[in-house]
């Protein structure tokens, strides 16, 4: 299974015994109710993965990766387990299927794909939907946390000195430059010094599908990023940084991700901040 699948492909595979479809829609509080939207309409057989619930609730940061055992428990209760082919989709402006994809890969589930164009494209094509909640049998998932592609605050501070990894920020240009204040009052404006800015909207065509690999590579090149050198992605809370990581994966590059992102860096009085364009 490719890491990016079309609506046509998914429609032809629905009902396969090893296929699991997952709605991973997440939005910022006050922007909607993804659970209610899922219950009103979802791709037949899809279960709802609540990204707000599947996080490290012991951390003061908003969306940190959970312990492996918590992730495994939540996925098993959804009927997602070893041997499953998992297709993740969303209906979010933040393209949150990519965050679910990154989590699955981090915890050892390798046969995972994103539905290109998400639920919006599925609905626009008039494809079948179901309502209510899907209930699948509990299935064993062996979660093996592999955090080699996850960066901590200490890693990012060390990188300031070494310059070993290019930092690429997924936030909007106005937040990156500091022209627009951060949504959380306690967090400074700006970006990590030396970072490049690739807002996620640049990675998609008008219909919400990912651009071609060639076009994705050009987006990064236009932002001054050398995709042949190591990259760590960042954003506000680690969610849209996952979109950058997935896009880089599409062009054969394995990027790391700074999980605390600007929620951590921007709130830390000891970290340097920079404003203005890259």
Hey, which residues are catalytic here? 235
- Check: CB of residue 247 under 8 Å from CB of residue 258: no
3-state helix vs strand vs coil in the chain, percent to 5: 30, 15, 55
- Check: CB of residue 223 under 8 Å from CB of residue 197: yes
SS3 state at 23 = strand
Q: Which strands form 166-169's sheet, in the order they lie side by side? A: 150-151, 256-258, 231-234, 166-169, 196-197
Number of Cβ atoms within 10 Å of the Cβ of 63: 24
Given phi > 0 = left and psi -120 to 50 = alpha, else beta, which region is 94? alpha
Distances in whole angstroms, Cα of residue 267 to Cα of each of 179, 186, 191: 17, 6, 12
> In terms of C-beta distances under 8 Å and separation of at least 24 residues, what long-range contacts does 73-77 make, across chains too?
74/49, 75/49, 75/109, 75/141, 75/143, 76/138, 76/139, 76/140, 76/141, 77/138
β-sheet bridge partners, residue 42 = 130
| Backbone phi and psi for residue 121, each to the nearest 5 degrees, phi listed first | -70, -40
What is the DSSP secondary-structure string of 204-231? Answer: B-TTSPBPPHHHHHHHHHHTT--TTS-E
């Amino acid at each position: 299974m490719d890491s990016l699948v079309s609506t046509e492909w998914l429609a032809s595979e629905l009902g396969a015994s090893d296929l699991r479809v997952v709605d991973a829609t997440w939005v910022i509080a006050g922007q909607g109710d993804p659970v209610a939207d899922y219950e009103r309409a979802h791709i037949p057989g899809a279960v709802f993965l609540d990204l707000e619930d599947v996080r490290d609730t012991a951390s003061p940061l908003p969306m940190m990766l959970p312990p492996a055992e918590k992730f495994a428990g939540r996925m098993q209760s959804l009927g997602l387990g070893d041997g499953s082919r998992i297709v993740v989709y969303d209906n979010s402006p933040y393209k949150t299927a990519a965050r679910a994809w990154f989590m699955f890969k981090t915890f050892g589930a390798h046969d995972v794909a994103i539905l290109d164009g998400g639920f919006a494209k599925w609905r626009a094509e008039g494809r079948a939907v179901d309502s209510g909640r899907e209930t699948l049998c509990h299935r064993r998932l062996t979660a093996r946390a592999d955090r080699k592609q996850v960066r901590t605050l200490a890693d990012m501070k060390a990188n300031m000195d070494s310059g070993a990894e290019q930092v690429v920020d997924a936030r909007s240009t106005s937040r990156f430059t500091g022209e627009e204040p951060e949504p959380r009052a306690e967090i400074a404006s700006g970006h990590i010094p030396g970072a490049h800015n690739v807002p996620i909207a640049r990675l998609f065509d008008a219909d919400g599908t990912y651009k071609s690999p060639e076009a994705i590579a050009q987006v990064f090149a236009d932002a001054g990023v050398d995709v042949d050198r190591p990259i760590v992605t960042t954003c506000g809370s680690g969610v849209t940084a996952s979109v950058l990581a997935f896009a880089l994966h599409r062009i054969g590059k394995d990027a790391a991700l700074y999980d605390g992102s600007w929620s951590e860096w921007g709130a830390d009085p000891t970290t340097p901040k920079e404003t203005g364009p890259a």
